[in-house]
Amino acid sequence: MRAAIVASGSELVRGDRHDRNGPYLAADLLRRGVEPARITVVGDDPAELEAAFRAGLEEDLLVVSGGLGPTHDDRTVELLARAAGVGLRVDPELEAGVEELSRRVAARLNRPYADFAEGVRKQATLPVGAEWVGLVGTAPAVVLALGERVAVALPGPPRELQELWPRVCETEPLRRLLARGGVPRRRVLRLFGVSESAVAQALAAVGGDGHGVDVTICARDFEIHIDLFVQPGADARADEIERGFEAAAGQYVFSRDERTTAELVLELLRERGLTLGTAESCTGGLVAARLTDVPGASDVFHGSVVAYANDVKRDRLGVPEQVLSEHGAVSGEAAAAMARGARDSLGVDVAVAVTGIAGPSGGSAEKPVGLVYLHAAGPDGELARRLDFPGDRETIRLRATVAALHLVRRLVTKS
Amino acid sequence: MRAAIVASGSELVRGDRHDRNGPYLAADLLRRGVEPARITVVGDDPAELEAAFRAGLEEDLLVVSGGLGPTHDDRTVELLARAAGVGLRVDPELEAGVEELSRRVAARLNRPYADFAEGVRKQATLPVGAEWVGLVGTAPAVVLALGERVAVALPGPPRELQELWPRVCETEPLRRLLARGGVPRRRVLRLFGVSESAVAQALAAVGGDGHGVDVTICARDFEIHIDLFVQPGADARADEIERGFEAAAGQYVFSRDERTTAELVLELLRERGLTLGTAESCTGGLVAARLTDVPGASDVFHGSVVAYANDVKRDRLGVPEQVLSEHGAVSGEAAAAMARGARDSLGVDVAVAVTGIAGPSGGSAEKPVGLVYLHAAGPDGELARRLDFPGDRETIRLRATVAALHLVRRLVTKS
């Protein structure tokens, strides 16, 4: 079972915006047992769109995002119908639905509905034989069954697409199609502190993937994410492969599910009844931002002092002037004082501090760009790390952020 | 002049990682006067790769990223040669270069070089007639001239690709190709506080684009980004279109260059000799992280108090207990007290505060999810805003972050 994904949008093909829909759909299709063959990003050029649709219709499933809007350069329905060799029709029920929404938009923008009428008719036009699902915005999802194959068109805004796609999967044509494929189970291993090549070697040592087990090894967010896609009946082989990873790098495994590291850290602290704060210099709030990205973080995470300037380190975190003058703001001593100061200042049980040189300037021979000190302090002890990260400013800041979260994890699990 | 981009990698086509190379190359090609026709993301399936290469070779330029590594599933060179109808050869100079690098890697990993030898020979294999540029990692960039057309293969890691691509553009085949196209000039307008449809209408009112001026209107990061790509000789038409935008939405234009809003805000404060801090609740450090993303931010940005818990708002920002109990932590009064408290606490001239309900839970009838209060306080006055953002947690946090930066901009420019 194979699918082609077409993401349309001139801002996407011009690199003004990254396509989020293709990766979302690909990952979800894989979970549903459909292999994504390709993701094609095209603009609004009709010839490009039609060629991509024709190629996509040769797969079991074609999923298109974007091009369902009211303006002349939204051509997905027209060109999909042409590529599939079917005509067009206006769906009266859909037209009524889009009209109702558009009348509300017109009222809010204080514009006459007449400005919208042509666009409404356009958005209510479907390929003959297609059904629709919606509406989240003013565009519906369109499902067109073509014998054994199915073509789907979804609105481009990621929020609308992600709300409509699971509903599309419940339609009869998709249910029939998905029932034909076997759904592989996914096993997950997350590692930190080990190289991608060591993990790849461990896989090679147990004979590689295949025989019903597809393995992806991916360095992501400076962690190593291993996914095993296990076909029905291949569990014994998957166990063997997992044991190979365990033998080679078991001590680096920190998770066996898809939670983010921030979720995991918050959960570990929650279980132990501990609160958390951060003291950040070079990461400038990124550790706090990661933690507060998690809904419901507030029972564990209380706050942060972003101490970019030395006087903030001194006055708000109580870093002694002597530490700053003798060891510098980027030092293990400063990191330790920041972490202890954050515990006091924020009134939290555990605090992690980050100070370093993110570059591009500010480095020296003994303190080069990429040098980062981390310090975690809690009720039962402390942990310190000195790291030398390669890469640019963004990379160094992100690596330091991830490493800070892992240092908290290690402190509270004593691992 | 048109280009096809092929990004290869099974982690990309499976949605495990977002492709960064396609958008980078597309945006850069556009600046060099080449229109990106499509970006195709494919895995390591040979048939998919070859089909994408064949389609790409029909354009003036094909640029491929990835698949140049030493392992069996790296097939770009072999399949590119097949699609172009040329043979393969080992380049001795390239082989010596890759060998030298690989010997160093082997020594570092404490593995015998023999493990690497086969991969080295593979990475030194090129299509007949191709030249190479490199090495940044162990893979070179490959440039293959095919009559008037050119095919380029670049290593997949974004850092290597972005270092090699400008050098590839200096090779003879690319210079010849780029010289054939006219390079459009780019004009930029950035707006905040106006809807995409109002801007689209302004464009329609002046007769739309075309006649040598290509206009993209893109809602990005909750701002409206307008780009005019102006062909040589079309400046008068571009002026007309710009005047149309000015007439319809001139008061919302905040920038005419490609600097980020964080850069712009820091520059405005720097010119005025002012320092900046933030006090953040629902954004949890995101405003500080945006500001410190800019190299050299430290002369302006001094720090932040991320006050997620009420006691941090009270103890670290001096928000009166009475404000919290009478108006709540999400209120205009709390935002004002946070901003004033941050000025004192961080010792900065200007502070911006954010407090709101990012959801998904925590909303109520009078304070729904998406309600955000902003307050900016400086030496010459204050500005407050109450906003109701639609969307999910991530969207609300990002919108609040962008709006906070713009509030600082408005405060210091008194606009």
| Residue A189 or residue A104, greater confidence | A189
Q: Which of A300, A242, A315 is nearest to A268 (CA)?
A: A300
- Asked if A315 is an interface residue toward chain B (Cβ–Cβ < 8 A), one would say yes
Res A328: pLDDT: 96
Full-model pTM: 0.80
Average pLDDT, stretch A145-167? 94
Res B110: pLDDT: 74
User: Which residue's entry shows tokens 């995470």?
Assistant: A301
Res A108: pLDDT: 73
Cβ neighbours of B374 (radius 10 Å): 25
Res A104: pLDDT: 83
Which class for B365: exposed (0-12), middle (13-18), buried (19 or more C-beta within 10 A)?
Answer: exposed
The DSSP bridge partners found for residue A191 are A224, A253
Res B31: pLDDT: 82
Q: Which two tokens stand for residue A63?
A: 């999923």
Cβ–Cβ < 8 Å for B216, A9: no
- Asked if B225 is an interface residue toward chain A (Cβ–Cβ < 8 A), one would say yes
Q: List chain A residues with CB under 8 Å of B361.
A: 295-296
Q: Which two tokens stand for residue A338?
A: 């920041």
Res B232: pLDDT: 84
Question: pLDDT confidence of A107, banded at 50, 70, 90?
Answer: confident
Q: Using alpha carbons, list the distances in angstroms from residue B45 to A37, A38, B42, B73, B180.
A: 8, 10, 8, 9, 34
Does A17 contact B28 at a Cβ distance shorter than 8 Å?
Answer: no
Cis peptide before A390 (omega within 30 of 0): no
Average pLDDT, stretch A54-69? 95
Res B398: pLDDT: 94
Q: List chain B residues with CB under 8 Å of A308.
A: 288, 292, 297-298, 301-304
Give me the amino acid identity at A205. Answer: A
HEC profile for A51-69?
HHHHHHCCCCEEEEECCCC
Q: Which of B167, B158, B141, B125 is nearest to B7 (CA)?
A: B158
Cβ–Cβ < 8 Å for B331, B386: no
Cβ–Cβ < 8 Å for B44, B6: no
Please name the residues in contact with B56: beta carbons below 8 A apart, sequence gap of 6 or more: B4, B5, B6, B40, B62, B64, B151
Q: Which two tokens stand for residue A93?
A: 């029920």
Inter-chain CB pairs, A–B, below 8 Å:
256
Cβ–Cβ < 8 Å for A111, A103: no
Q: Which of A293, A292, A342 is nearest to A318 (CA)?
A: A342
Measured in angstroms, the CA of A67 and the nearest CA of chain B are apart by 14
Mean pLDDT rounded to a whole number for chain A? 93
Q: Which of A277, A293, A166 is nearest to B359 (CA)?
A: A293
Question: pLDDT confidence of A192, banded at 50, 70, 90?
Answer: very high
Res B151: pLDDT: 98
Q: What angle do CA B351, A277, B363 make, to 5 degrees?
A: 70
Average pLDDT, stretch A250-255? 94
In tens, the pLDDT along A374-406 reads 999 999 999 999 999 887 899 899 999 999 999
Cβ–Cβ < 8 Å for B187, B242: yes
**Which region among A21-25, A50-54, A103-107, A130-134 has the lowest average model confidence (pLDDT)?**
A103-107
Query: Which runs of E-coded beta strand occur in B316-389?
Result: 350-356, 371-378, 381-388
Average pLDDT along chain B, 415 residues, taken 10 residues at a time: 94 89 94 92 93 97 93 89 96 93 80 82 94 87 96 93 95 93 85 84 87 82 88 92 94 92 97 98 98 96 97 97 97 98 98 96 93 97 94 91 97 89
Cβ–Cβ < 8 Å for B270, B388: no
Q: List chain B residues with CB under 8 Å of A13.
A: 26, 36-39
The ipTM (two decimal places) reads 0.79
B373: left (phi over 0), alpha (psi -120 to 50) or beta: beta
Does A289 contact B312 at a Cβ distance shorter than 8 Å?
Answer: no
Q: Which two tokens stand for residue B240?
A: 């007309």
DSSP notation for B72-130: TT--HHHHHHHHHT--EEE-HHHHHHHHHHHHHHHHHHT--THHHHHHHHHHTEEETTE
Res A353: pLDDT: 98
Measured in angstroms, the CA of B24 and the nearest CA of chain A are apart by 6
